[in-house]
Amino acid sequence: MIAVVGAVVTGTTFALFNDTETSTGNIFVAGSIDLQVDHTIATYDGQPCVSNCTETGGNLIVNGGFEDPVVTDHGGWWQTYPGGIPGWAVEFGALELQRNGIAGVPHGGSQLTELDSTLPSSISQIITTTPGGKYRLHFWFSPRPLNPSGDNGVGFQVQVVSPSSVILSDVVGSAQQGGFTTTWGEYVYDFIAVDASTKIVFTDLGSNTNSGMGGYIDDVSMYSLNCTGGFPYGGQCQLWNQRNLGPSDQFWNFPDVKPGDYGTDVVSLHVDSNDAFACVYGANIVDTDVTLTDPESTLADTLSVGELSPFIKVFAWDDANNNGLYEGGETTLIPVNTPLSNMATQMIALTLSGSGPAKYLGLAWCAGTQSIGAGPTINCDGSSVSDIAQTDSTTLDFTAYAVQQRNNPNFSCASLVQAP
């Protein structure tokens, strides 16, 4: 009986020492590149597209005068708040409030904030905004009294909360020496919101990070803008927030261009998920000789083809702070005085991150000869434009193109000239 039972057990042990694991639902999904474009700034002969703006509604900033809470510590003149105060969150460090003007008179009310307390600090406030809506932000800055030059710097940013990217940024006060009392100056910034939430950020950028002394901020305010736009000589004046471009989204439509006319634009490029290389260029350029004037006839012009596009020159740079100004140290993307038709062959590809921040491409055009002057400024000399281009027109598709970085290590914008 025992031997028989043992035989049965031995015969079943093979099943007990087997194991099978199955991975189910395996999927391959092709990635994608979704490129979207903003048009944030446009000027024509020095005039901004958005002008004659009126502030509407109430102040969107909560506790912009830093009056809440009332300071009670250290004899009632300064107190730190690591956890923030009504309206303001602490990004790092601690927010310090000062009261009663012992270390500098506030711009308004009884209190101000210092951005270098016991440690450097950064504060922020998130405001509900309308995508595509125009806004104006004011704040007042003063160097701390008797604080040396270099130690009063304050970084200012307007950020998109979701997805995270920077709309504009600036640094104020770094070169200012503190006097015997506060010396307040107002700073005003206009911007276009690209999301339903926008963050305002102030950060200490003083050179002496352990001094416990830094720049002052007071009376922060932000308002919606009601703007009327238009250029003095007519033409297209259109800005838009991040979106896929459609037939009505024109960057340029100028019906009366003269030699020496010039303009600037800032274009923002965004991609979802995948890191990408991106280029912008003029495609499908068509020159048309609309009519024939006497000066054109003198130069043996005919109505067969237009001659305008070779006289339109462009220059592009990586406009990191989205202010529409070329500031010398920014990366050149298209060399100055490049003919419109050669944009793609001359452009350095932008590198875009799928997780942000956005890339801002500054673009300057000129009817004539472009050059970089002192300042630096972008100069436009119209003397090189020939009479043969009178009445001519140029139309083109302004194309933004993106390709994933992965598996495209040798991509160049010049390759797009032959691309289908």
pLDDT, one tens digit per residue, over 32-62 is 778 888 888 899 998 888 666 889 999 999 9
Per the CB < 8 A criterion, the answer to whether 85 and 189 are in contact is no
Per the CB < 8 A criterion, the answer to whether 242 and 270 are in contact is yes
pLDDT value at position 31?
Answer: 64
In this prediction, residues 68-83 reach a mean pLDDT of: 93
DSSP code for 117: S
pLDDT of residue 182 exceeding 80, the answer is: yes
pLDDT value at position 25?
Answer: 67
pLDDT of residue 16 exceeding 90, the answer is: no
**Least confident interval from 207-216, 305-314, 329-338:** 207-216
| Partners of 217 in beta bridges | 113, 141
* CB atoms near residue 113 (< 10 Å): 24
pLDDT in tens, 116-156: 877 889 999 999 998 878 888 999 999 888 888 777 788 87
Q: How far is CA 409 from the centre of its chain?
A: 26
pLDDT of residue 347 exceeding 80, the answer is: yes
Ranges of beta strands (E only) in 206-319 are 216-229, 240-243, 262-271, 276-289, 312-318
DSSP letters spanning 143-166:
PPTTPPTTS--EEEEEEETTTTEE
pLDDT of residue 419 exceeding 60, the answer is: no
Taking CA atoms, 393 is separated from 85, 156, 170, 233, 284, in Å, by 58, 43, 39, 16, 14
In this prediction, residues 89-115 reach a mean pLDDT of: 93
pLDDT in tens, 234-255: 777 777 777 788 777 888 888 8
Per the CB < 8 A criterion, the answer to whether 195 and 161 are in contact is yes
* Mean predicted lDDT score pLDDT of the chain: 84
Structure tokens at 411: 């991509």
CA distance linking residue 222 with residue 189, whole number of Å: 9
CA distance linking residue 134 with residue 215, whole number of Å: 28
15: enclosing H helix or E strand: helix 2-16
Which of 257, 204, 202, 213 is closest to 233 using CA atoms?
Answer: 257
What per-residue string of b and e applies to 316-353 under the rule 16 or more CB within 10 Å gives b?
bbebbbbbbbbeeebeebbebbbbbbbbbbbbbbbebe
CA distance linking residue 48 with residue 213, whole number of Å: 38
pLDDT in tens, 300-331: 767 677 788 899 999 999 998 888 999 888 99
pLDDT of residue 7 exceeding 50, the answer is: no
Tokens 């055009």, residue located: 365
pLDDT of residue 283 exceeding 50, the answer is: yes
